[in-house]
Amino acid sequence: MNKSEDFAKGADISLLKRIEDAGGVYRQAGKPKDALDIFKDNGFNYMRLRLFHTPSKTGAQVNDLAYTLALAERIKKKGFKFLLDFHYSDLSEVYLPTAYERLLHDCMLGDSTLYARGDAVECAWSFVDPILKYWENNPDNALYGYPAGTWGPKEADDLIEEKGLTWRYPHKNLTDDGIYCEL
């Protein structure tokens, strides 16, 4: 399995457009040629771009979204696979809150996507608490386990053991007789 398409041979061309805009010309055998065509001719199959959160527009940090999208479009048109690296190093002077600080801040703003509301927690405990109390008060009653993917503990049959009553097939993957109840 040593086919060339199984391996990534690539280059970071994040500054390509900036170099071209500054008058840079790429050559192959002494003749001007699109840099991406040169890479293609030499067996490259991947191109990498960097995208900066807040680029400085100087040095190597020129890659804002519009700049990166334009290069990505050129890459795709030439048939390369594409890697995109997000750079947040330009945020080194920005204070990033801890997860707990963010949770508290979102709570103060009324954003409940990162935490459970009190009434939801109380409702959940209204189901769980009686079970825990029963186990505390009846330690001799067993809790029956069973392997995943099986019909469940044999003791479950005792819940409905009467003439003509039985459990339905819970899932088609547990039987091959074609009679089941899809969940």
Instruction: Check whether 177 has a pLDDT greater than 70.
Output: no
Determine the pLDDT at residue 89. Answer: 60
| Distance between first and last Cα of the chain | 42
pLDDT value for 128: 92
Q: Residue 155: what pLDDT? A: 79
* Dist. CA 39–CA 48, nearest whole Å: 12
Domains in the chain: boundaries: 4-91, 97-137, 142-183
pLDDT at 91: 58
Q: How far apart are CA 116 and CA 122, in angstroms?
A: 10
Instruction: Find, among 52, 113, 120, the residue nearest to 86 by Cα.
Output: 52
Which structure tokens are listed for 14? Answer: 């994040």
Pairing of strands 27-28, 31-32: antiparallel
* Count, residues in the chain: 183
Q: Provide the whole-model pTM.
A: 0.47
User: Cα Rg for the chain, rounded, in angstroms?
Assistant: 31
Beta-carbon contacts of 165 under 8 Å, excluding residues fewer than 6 positions away, are: none
For 110, the token pair is: 């009324």
- Tens digits of residue pLDDT in 105-160: 777 777 777 777 788 889 999 999 998 999 899 988 888 887 776 667 777 777 77
Instruction: Give me the chain's average pLDDT, please.
Output: 79
CA distance 176 to 123: 39
